[in-house]
């Protein structure tokens, strides 16, 4: 039952922003926004380099996520930032398994599972991304892909209350072509069915399943009206004032 789940909206800023633009987004868009936080959890994901700055100026009701973390702990891993380091920096969420990391940086299901295990073990909550590409959608194997990706991470998760699943069809990310409400609802219902069969009744009722892929203030109202869509993981539109309208469509 959808009412058992609080809405959740994430803003994935990706590799975007400068000190000046980050300050503008926080001071002019996020901090003044009239958000009903009793209805919706809001999390923004700056670039790692900007997290301390955002922590120092962002209103406390909005939480912060990192966009990735290493599968290794601290040590001789040049350039890596471990979940333990984000924990030390008081970062409460990390986005893992994003398709851009899977496609551009070779993150396999197994690597994503290892990162989720380490991140949850460090006491940080996870936004776990899954989604099929255009070829898989057109071949009619979306369910098989989603099931494979969920099965790969299942053993990394002991407490599903610390996980939000983001269904992000790769063919909708950054294209301006969102999945339509029926397409999105169909996959969200499959994910909820998988949760019920594999993660238990509590997870099936409480784990949020959010949609990502060209969400804007023009389509968020129709999407959020679907019974198994619990919110959004917003990319490009999270860098603009319209992000607040997307959040308000959930509250």
Residues that bind ligand PGH (CB under 6 A): 12, 98, 168, 173-174, 212-215, 233-237
Considering beta carbons, is residue 48 or 72 the nearer one to ligand PGH?
48
Considering beta carbons, is residue 120 or 179 the nearer one to ligand PGH?
179
Strands, DSSP E only, in the chain? 7-12, 40-45, 63-66, 93-96, 125-130, 163-167, 209-211, 231-234
Residue whose CB is nearest to ligand PGH in the complex, by number: 235
State the nearest-atom distance from the C-beta of 234 to ligand PGH, in Å: 5
State the nearest-atom distance from the C-beta of 197 to ligand PGH, in Å: 26
State the nearest-atom distance from the C-beta of 176 to ligand PGH, in Å: 8
Q: Are 57 and 21 in contact (CB under 8 A)?
A: no
Q: How many CA atoms lie within 13 A of 182 on its CB side?
A: 0
Considering beta carbons, is residue 40 or 204 the nearer one to ligand PGH?
40
Residue 199 Cα distances to 8, 15, 100, 158, angstroms: 20, 33, 26, 9
Give the other-Cβ count within 10 Å of 212's Cβ: 27
**Active site (catalytic) residues:** 98, 168
């Amino acid at each position: 039952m959808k009412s058992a789940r609080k809405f959740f909206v994430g803003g994935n800023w990706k590799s975007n922003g400068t000190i000046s633009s980050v300050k503008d987004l926080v001071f002019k868009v996020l901090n003044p926004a009239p958000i009903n936080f009793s209805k919706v959890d809001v999390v923004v994901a700056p670039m790692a380099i900007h997290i301390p700055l955002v922590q120092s100026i962002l209103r406390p009701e909005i939480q912060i996520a990192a966009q990735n973390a290493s599968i290794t702990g601290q040590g001789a891993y040049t350039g890596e930032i471990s979940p333990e380091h984000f924990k030390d920096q008081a970062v409460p969420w990390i986005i893992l398994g994003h398709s851009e990391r899977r496609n551009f940086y070779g993150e396999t299901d197994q690597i994503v599972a290892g990162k989720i295990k380490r991140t949850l073990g460090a006491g940080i909550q996870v936004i776990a991304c899954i989604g099929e590409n255009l070829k898989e959608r057109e071949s009619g194997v979306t369910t098989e892909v989603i099931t494979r990706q969920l099965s790969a991470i299942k053993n990394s998760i002991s407490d599903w209350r610390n996980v939000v699943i983001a269904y992000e069809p790769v063919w909708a990310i950054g294209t301006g072509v969102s999945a339509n409400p029926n397409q999105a609802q169909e996959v969200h219902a499959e994910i909820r069915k998988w949760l019920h069969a594999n993660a238990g009744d509590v997870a099936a009722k409480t784990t949020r399943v959010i949609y990502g892929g060209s969400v804007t203030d023009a389509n968020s109202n129709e999407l959020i009206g679907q019974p198994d869509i619990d919110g959004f993981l917003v990319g490009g539109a999270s860098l603009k004032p319209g992000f607040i309208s997307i959040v308000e469509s959930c509250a």
